[in-house]
Copies of this chain bind each other. A is one copy, B any other.
Amino acid sequence: MPQDYKNIPTPERCYVDFCLIPVGTGSASVSREVAEVQKLLKASGLHHTMHSAGTTVEGSWDEVMKVIGQAHSLVHRLGAVRVQTSMRAGTRTDKVQTAEQKVQKVRELLAEDAHMQRRASLEDCE
């Protein structure tokens, strides 16, 4: 089936987890750059969560990618001549699921499993 490539839209909703590294700054610390990027994310209005190995941003593909591109430009302004980012992007068409809901579902499975194990050990004692 031939595709009209030019008119394929980008996803309306995605999550992108990214970790940005300034290269060639002469300093091993990246916390100042990370803090500046957090302020940029806040100003974007997009939902985002920082963790120790990156930050997850949620929104439309175009919005999310725009703000990560701006983060590169911002870190260049702060003095890094080279910026390298590792990203994981996810989209799905079957349902809308926030980042929090994904973590919650795994926690529920683990709690259920722990419950069944406790029950099994009690039954072993009877």
Contact = CB atoms under 8 A, between A and B. Distances in A.
A86 B13 CA distance: 17
A3 B40 contact: yes
A90 B84 contact: yes
A83 to B, nearest CB: 5
Interface in A6-22: 6, 8-11, 14-15, 17, 19, 21-22
A65 B69 CA distance: 9
A96 interface: no
Interface of A: 3, 5-6, 8-11, 14-15, 17, 19, 21-32, 34-36, 38-40, 43-44, 49-54, 56, 61-62, 65-66, 68-70, 72-74, 76-77, 81-94, 99-100, 102-103, 105-106, 109-110, 113
Given A10-B70, A35-B109, A76-B91, 10 more contacts: A8-B40, A11-B69, A11-B76, A22-B23, A23-B23, A28-B82, A51-B51, A61-B65, A62-B65, A83-B92
